[in-house]
Structure 1
Amino acid sequence: MNSVRRVDADDPDADIDMGHRMLYQDDLFTGEVAQYQGERIVCLDVYLDGVQNGLSQMWYPDGALKLRGTVVNGAASGEFLEWHPNGVLKSRKFFDDDIYSLKEESVWDEEGNLVREWRREDG
């Protein structure tokens, strides 16, 4: 069974190079990069050969999920969801998989009322 390598973003051996690639001990990093607030994890991103590639997640300091989406070759891809601190969905963004640009977005207030909806008109 393969275990996933995880490093702390604040580890002195972790760095970002001029090409915005994640390095660990001066090598391109493959694995998970975690950020902590105290003992609690608040951000977790997956990297492949130094480039963010995979699930990206963030949590509020109390442990509630704040954001979840997928990054491909360093750009948002597909659906990204974000929640208010009370657990109500805050936004849903959908990124075009071909050009990695925002295709549609819906935003809700803390009570769950839709406050904005936008969709890119193609063509």
Structure 2
Amino acid sequence: MRVDYDDVETEDDLRVTYQGEPFTGEVVERSPQGQVIALTTYFQGMEDGPSAEWYPTGERKAEGNVRYGTAVGVHEEWHRNGNPAARVEFDDQGKVLSRQRWAEDGTPIESYVAQG
């Protein structure tokens, strides 16, 4: 099931509900002009699965995966010009394994690797 962002409620415990029930499916967020700017997957009210964001002009902005509310795997962000902005890798418990960030012109800003 896919519903609009305006049709869901975020509860105090950050669970997302639709028509009073914990939501399972995709939530789509649109810009005022109707362009899709975010797509987030939920399972029983918790963010769970792939998510993606786009700039209102259509360029990709971010993507990653979440497992029952915890960031897992590789999450990436891009500048409007398409250059990488950040890349963070998480383990299965949400711990940061590595993180890189770049300026809009591609200059490295940060490089971090967790010590084993």
TM-score (norm 2): 0.94
The more displaced of 54-63 and 104-113 is 104-113
Identical-pair percentage: 35
Aligned to 1:90: 85
Mapped to 2, the partners of 1:101 and 1:60 lie a distance apart of: 28
Aligned to 1:17: 11
What secondary structure sits across from 1:10 in the alignment? Answer: helix
Mapped to 2, the partners of 1:117 and 1:74 lie a distance apart of: 25
CA RMSD of aligned residues (A): 1.0
Aligned to 1:47: 42
Which 4+ runs in 1 deviate beyond 3 A?
none
Aligned to 1:56: 51
Mapped to 1, the partners of 2:27 and 2:14 lie a distance apart of: 14
Mapped to 2, the partners of 1:36 and 1:48 lie a distance apart of: 21
- Residue by residue over 1:27-73, the C-alpha shift from the partner in whole angstroms, topping out at 9 and shown as x without a partner, is 11110011111200111100011111100101111010000100101
Aligned to 1:33: 27
Mapped to 2, the partners of 1:16 and 1:115 lie a distance apart of: 34
TM-score (norm 1): 0.89
Of 67, 70, 75, which aligns to 1:75? 70
What secondary structure sits across from 2:72 in the alignment? Answer: strand
Q: Does 1:100 align with 2:100?
A: no
Q: Does 1:6 align with 2:9?
A: no
Quote how far apart the aligned CAs of 1:79 are: 0.1
Which runs of 5 or more structure 2 residues have no equivalent in the other structure?
none
What secondary structure sits across from 2:77 in the alignment? Answer: strand
What secondary structure sits across from 1:86 in the alignment? Answer: coil
Q: Number of aligned pairs?
A: 115
Mapped to 2, the partners of 1:118 and 1:80 lie a distance apart of: 14
Quote how far apart the aligned CAs of 1:16 are: 1.5
What secondary structure sits across from 2:51 in the alignment? Answer: strand
